[in-house]
Amino acid sequence: MALVEPNPNPSFLEKLQSIPKPVIYGILLVVSTIPLFFSVKLPNKPIDASIDFYAQTMKLPDGCKVILCSDWTNSTRGESKGEMEALLKLLMRKHIKFVLLSIGDTQAPQVAKDTIREVSASEVASGGTPYKEFEDYVNLGYYAAAEGTILAINNKVLSIAKGKKDFPEGAGPKDALLSPVFQGIKSVSDFNMFFLVTASGTNRTILERITKCPLMYMVSGVMVPENTSYYASGQLKGLCGGVKGVYDLETIMEAGINNPGPDLIESDKYKGESIPGWKGKTNKGKGTAYYLALHFTLALLILAVVIGNVGMFAAKRRAK
């Protein structure tokens, strides 16, 4: 709503407060697209939440078992796919088995499976071992009743896998409970961590109901403020948010925490400990690919806001 009468002959500065939308959209399209063609290593100081996420994941015993709830779809792949890839790299390098399920969207299991296959292929290409469905991870698919399912996981975790089938490579469907992932599992507390990768409201559903297993979340950038209060209170052991969070993880995967070197990342919380990185492995991912574009788009956003305000003040001054 304009506070001043529209001027029939606005000056250049006054015109700045009413740039047509097609012009703004065109500039944004150019500014956000061109940096995607360049791969530039940018300086970055990871935030505490990302450092905690990496450290707690690295402290999981090799070969242990975790639950991975994947509730993102291709609509948020710009952020969520990068987060998922970074997490899967860590899990695969530590040979951690996981139970994959979704409570947020019917498309989510398929996009998660596709991402697992891609990351497994990339790990094989850099000298790792392939991750096999049914042997190293079991896919329980989508559950429509989110609240009831998460309650059931906390109460009686094996009940959610009853009757579910998964597909080992080169074989027909098999009962999911026969998977090596479920061997020795009697309760949700037998899982070492509950990871959630989401861009929807399933964060609260899980936080309210999972009490016997530690939680770590990977969320889209817009959900970071909401989840920061849970991280600050200690309900979440770590939090990774948005493209910045992904880039933080990729930076830490390269350098480690409190590891002496040119890219030293210090953390007071882990003083006295040195948590290694994964130098020599393929750590770059969507965070590195998109961080430069993020810089340019944020800069454009700031410029647009400043220009709009300059135009507004010019119009106000003219009206006086």
Partner 1 sequence: MNLLAQVDPKTFWNATNGSSELFIKLALALIFGIALATGLMFAPPQLRKWVVRVVTFVSGLFYVLFWLFPAPISRQPNDAPRGTVEALSFFISDSQSVVASLTNVIAGFLIGLGIYSLLRVHLGKIAKQQKDWFFSAVLVISMFLMIFFGYGDYIQRQDPKNFVLADMKNWGWINYGRDLLFDGLLQNMDAGMFSVVAFYIMSAAYRAFRARSIEATILLVTALVVMLSLMGVVELMWSGMIDKISPDNPIVQSFKLSAVSSWLRSNVQTPAIRGIDFGVGIGLMAMGLRLWLSLEKTGGDS
Partner 2 sequence: MGQQYLDTGWFLMFLTLLMVGFILFNISRAHGGKDLYIRRISGLNAIDEAVGRATEMGRPVLMVPGLSDTTVNAKTMQAINIFGYVSRVAARFGNPILVCCYNASTFTVAQEIIRDVYQQEGLIDKYDVDSVRFISDRQFAFAAGVSGLILREKAAATFFMGEFYAESLILAETANSVGAIQVASSTELTQTPFFIAACDYVLIGDEFYAASAFLTRQPVLVGSLVGQDWCKLAIIGMIIAGTLTNTLQQRGEITQEHKEGKIVDLPKPRNVLAKDTIFSRLLKPDPEKDIKVAREHLPPDQVPSGGGSDK
Binding residues vs partner 1 (CB under 8 A): 3, 19, 21, 24-25, 28-29, 32, 42-45, 47-48, 73-77, 107, 110-111, 143-145, 147-149, 151-152, 155-156, 159-160, 167, 169-173, 225-226, 228-229, 232, 244, 247, 291, 294-295, 297-302, 304-305, 307-309, 312
Would you tell me the crossing angle of helices 77-93 and 48-58 to the nearest 10 degrees?
30
Which residue's CB is nearer to partner 2, number 11 or number 187? Answer: 187
What is the DSSP code (8-state) at residue 163? Answer: T
**Alpha-carbon torsion, ordered 68, 71, 73, 75, to 10 deg:** -130
3-class SS at 109? Answer: helix
212 binds partner 2 (CB under 8 A): yes
Query: 165, 174 in Cβ contact below 8 A?
Result: yes
183 lies in the site for partner 2, by CB under 8 A: no
Measured CA to CA in angstroms, residue 23 lies from 196, 228, 305, 311 at distances of 39, 36, 15, 16
Residue choice 91, 100, 188, 252 for contact with partner 2 (CB under 8 A):
188
Judge contact between 67 and 193, C-beta under 8 A. Answer: yes
DSSP assignment of 199-256, as one string?
SSTHHHHHHHH--SS-EEEEE-GGGHHHHHHHHHTTSSSEEEEHHHHHHHHHHHHHH-
200 binds partner 2 (CB under 8 A): yes
CA distance 87 to 115: 11
- Which of 36, 145, 232, 299 lies at the binding interface for partner 2 (CB under 8 A)? 145
Determine if 18 is a binding residue for partner 2 (CB under 8 A): no
> Residues 173, 201, 261, 276: which binds partner 2 (CB under 8 A)?
201
305 binds, among partner 1, partner 2, none (CB under 5 to 8 A by kind): partner 1
- 58-77: which residues touch partner 2 (CB under 8 A)? 75-76
| Shortest separation between residue 166's beta carbon and partner 1, angstroms | 11
19: partner contacted, choices partner 1, partner 2, none (Cβ within 5-8 A by kind): partner 1
Exposed / middle / buried, residue 102 (Cβ in 10 Å: 0-12, 13-18, 19+): buried
Q: Which does 143 bind (CB under 5 to 8 A by kind): partner 1, partner 2, none?
A: partner 1
Options 11, 39, 126, 211; binder of partner 2; rule CB under 8 A: 211
Count of beta carbons in the 10 Å neighbourhood of residue 205: 21
Characterise 312 by phi-psi region: left (phi > 0), alpha (psi -120 to 50), beta (else): alpha
Which of 11, 155, 274, 309 lies at the binding interface for partner 2 (CB under 8 A)? 155
Among 69, 88, 90, 157, binds partner 2 (CB under 8 A): 157
Of positions 100, 111, 199, 218, contacts partner 2 by CB under 8 A: 199
Helix axes 242-255, 286-319, angle to 10 degrees: 140
Using the 8-state DSSP alphabet, how is residue 61 labeled?
P
Chain contacts with partner 2 (rule: CB under 8 A): 75-76, 105, 144-146, 155-157, 159, 162, 186-189, 199-201, 211-212, 222-223, 225-226
